[in-house]
Amino acid sequence: MSLKSLALIENWPVPTAAAGVVRADGTILGIHGPVGQRFPLASVTKPLAAYAALVAYEEGAVELDEPAGPAGSTVRHLLAHTSGLAFDEHRVTAPPGERRLYSNAGFEQLGDHIAKAADIPFAEYARQAVLEPLGMTATTLDGSPAKDGVSTVEDLLHFAAESQAPRLLDPRTVAEAMSVQYPGTKGVLPGYGHQNPNDWGLGFEIRDSKSPHWTGASSSPRTFGHFGQSGTFLWIDPDARLACVALTDRAFGPWAAEVWPPFTDAVLAEAAEV
């Protein structure tokens, strides 16, 4: 079977789009579009990089609360966007832990830290630790671990299933990653403005009660995931026990803010009836 709601991507104002939905047990409820086509992920790269960082933590290569990044910052701060680093510049703009400053630079410093600790380039570490075990053969994380990943819907559905029912990590580690880090921290959700609080886990954004938001009005507060400026998203809704991936080749903009939430609501409504 295939969820009919996935066909809504045909109405999106984009040249190409692909989407898929997977349950926690790995059952694919539906796919639509060129799900084997490789798309630039932009910031949907971050959850993949974060997962590799968590493998490094479980392997003992790093500790979440060891120093990393700017003075006073830790691995945890870098993963939770509270290191104080600027968005795309390797300069400090706030003390660690005080503000949620969404930072590509922070993930780049995280990648450098893990590469040094593991004595292997971060992209190769991520391949061995996450991509290869999950069979994500079309996915690469070359370049910036913040934004340069390339993948397919097919591959990301493997990752979405793993995020719901982990095999590579202890479920307690994943539960912590999907829990709010530094509760009550204010910040800016890129594309959506100031949020108070701007809740985030370890590499994954947490929906909570944010409004406006790129997920649906019916998405549970526990929904976590990420969207990318290349017109991509991945969300996992633990209450609905399913995840959705959508990849496009049009940069994020007002079009996405308009079509993504009703699309998500339609997917959740149809999946609830299956």
Q: Letter for the amino acid at 214?
A: W
**pLDDT tens track for 167-210:** 999 999 999 999 999 999 999 888 898 999 999 999 999 999 99
- Tens digit of each residue's pLDDT (9 = 90 or more) over 23-70: 999 999 999 999 999 999 999 999 999 999 999 999 999 999 999 999
3-class DSSP state of 255: helix
Name the residue range of residue 29's domain.
4-272
DSSP E strands, the chain: 17-23, 28-32, 39-42, 149-151, 187-189, 193-195, 205-206, 224-228, 232-237, 242-248
63: domain CATH number? 3.40.710.10
Preceding peptide of 197 cis, ω within 30°? yes
Instruction: List residues bridging with 17 in a β-sheet.
Output: 248
Whole-angstrom Cα distance, residue 161 to residue 138? 17
Q: What is the largest CA-CA distance in the chain?
A: 53
Q: How confident is the model at residue 85 (pLDDT cuts 50, 70, 90)?
A: very high
Q: What's the residue count for the chain? A: 274
pTM for the model stands at 0.97
Residue 90, classified by CB atoms within 10 Å of its CB into exposed (0-12), middle (13-18) or buried (19+), is middle
Number of domains in the chain: 1
Please report which confidence band the pLDDT of residue 1 belongs to, taking 50, 70 and 90 as the band edges.
low
CB 99 within 8 A of CB 87: no
